[in-house]
Amino acid sequence: MNVIETRQLEKRFGTVRALDRVSTTLPEGSTTLLRGPNGAGKTTLLRVLAALTRPTGGEVRVLGVNPFGADGAAQRSRLGYLGQETALYGELTLQENLEFYARLHGVDPDRIEFLIHELELEGVAGRRVQTLSLGYRRRAGLARARLTDPSLLLLDEPWNGLDAEASQQLTHWLEQHHKAGRSALVAAHSPSAGTGLFDAEIRLERGRLLGTES
């Protein structure tokens, strides 16, 4: 089964084609690198797959359903998305941010404690996010994306802003995610930290699919 399927997928912003007839698949259990230079369309593709941006043409299926269709809403908890922004409320503490997301998705609060411990965020869990360093905010964003224990992860430049230790931790955790038979699509233009992690690669340039390698 494919967790992602796109056929002639197109996204235009005015006269600009951010995605130009992209057709690709992502098999279940794979950890795939989405690669391309700045402006290649990586972020747009991830946002379409996460149902944040509606495509202007073509077809898309994520976890077996059209994310913009009637069944799409119920699938959103099975999907973990982390964009280039960490998507956390600066005025709330890290713990409160995770509690809000857990409530939104009906997640057991015990999982918050588990992730805070696993990502070594105990020391800063009670602090307001606006007072945290970028590295801690990225870690907190990761904890948020993993809160629902998603079947499919969509990560946009996840190593940005992480120090060497946190980068290794992320790579290690992505390996665990892979071993558990779950899928991930990770956008990066220079994924040095994740070398050896990916079992497939999708290359985009100027919105077009240049190729897929396994």
Partner 1 sequence: MNGPRVFAAVLGKDLRLDLRSWDRLGPMAVFAALVMVLLSTALPTASAASPGWIPALVWMVFLLTSLLGLGRSFQAESEQGTIVLLTQAPCDRGWVFLGKATANWLALLGVELWTAFLCWVLLDVEWGVAWPEILGVGLLGALGLAVVGTLLSALACAARFPVFLLPVLLFPLVLPVLVLASRMTGEALAGDQIASAMWVGLALYDWVFLLIAYFVFDYVLED
Q: Tell me the site size for partner 1, rule CB under 8 A.
A: 29
Specify the stretch interacting with partner 1 by CB under 8 A; choose among 2-10, 103-111, 191-199, 205-213. 103-111
Question: Which candidate, 69, 30, 62, 28, places its Cα nearest to that of 45?
Answer: 62
CB of 139: closest distance to partner 1 in angstroms?
Answer: 16
Interface mask toward partner 1 for 3-42; x: CB under 8 A: ----------------------------------------
Nearer to partner 1, 40 or 51 (CB): 51
CB of 212: closest distance to partner 1 in angstroms?
Answer: 26
CA distances to 41, 90, 142, 171 from 138, rounded to whole Å, are 22, 13, 6, 14
CA distances to 4, 200, 206 from 11, rounded to whole Å, are 17, 24, 12
Which residues does 71 contact at the CB level (< 8 Å), separation at least 6? 65
Interface mask toward partner 1 for 62-91; x: CB under 8 A: -----------xxxxx-x-x-x-xxxxxxx
CB of 173: closest distance to partner 1 in angstroms?
Answer: 21
Among 7, 64, 71, 104, binds partner 1 (CB under 8 A): 104
CB of 46: closest distance to partner 1 in angstroms?
Answer: 11
Among 7, 16, 37, 54, binds partner 1 (CB under 8 A): 54
Among 22, 34, 40, 51, binds partner 1 (CB under 8 A): 51
Nearer to partner 1, 36 or 67 (CB): 67
Among 105, 117, 172, 179, binds partner 1 (CB under 8 A): 105
Q: Is 110 exposed, middle or buried (0-12, 13-18, 19+ CB in 10 A)?
A: exposed
Our finding on whether 53 is near partner 1 (CB under 8 A) is yes
